[in-house]
Amino acid sequence: MSKRHQFLQHATAPRQRRLWRALLALLLIAITYLALVPDPPRGVSTGWDKSNHALAFASLAFTCVWAFWPRPRQWLWLAAALLAYGGAIEIVQSYLPPRTGDWFDLLADGVGIAIGLAIAMPFTVVLARRR
């Protein structure tokens, strides 16, 4: 077994889920804070709002795979949950001046979710073949 495969198996083993869940909790706290604070720090940005959303939700989707949903058959539920979270952020932002809700942000969230799951897919395929 290659060193890469050993690392991959170790990093995604069920016993590591606590670490993935802790990372997910930190991501959710950070993303929620950045989404709802009236004036988010300028240094925490890609320079384009839509890419910020895509990157945040790609990170969430990838982390969720290893924290809760390692089987691709379950990813529809994962995508729905993350989109609901993104939608809730947009609704809350519409009530928080100077923030505004933007449904194109939700579209960027969806693109990010798709990217995060696309990145996770090869890992799940390799692991399924080796088990």
pLDDT in tens, the chain (131 residues): 678 778 878 888 888 999 999 999 999 999 999 999 999 888 888 999 999 999 999 999 999 999 998 888 889 999 999 999 999 999 999 999 999 999 999 999 999 999 999 999 998 887 777 65
Decide if 15 is inside a domain. Answer: yes
Decide if 1 is inside a domain. Answer: no
Decide if 42 is inside a domain. Answer: no
Q: How many domains does the chain have?
A: 1
State the pTM of this model.
0.92
| C-alpha pair distances (Å), 123 with each of 35, 38, 40, 101 | 30, 38, 34, 35
Domain that holds residue 61: 6-35+49-130
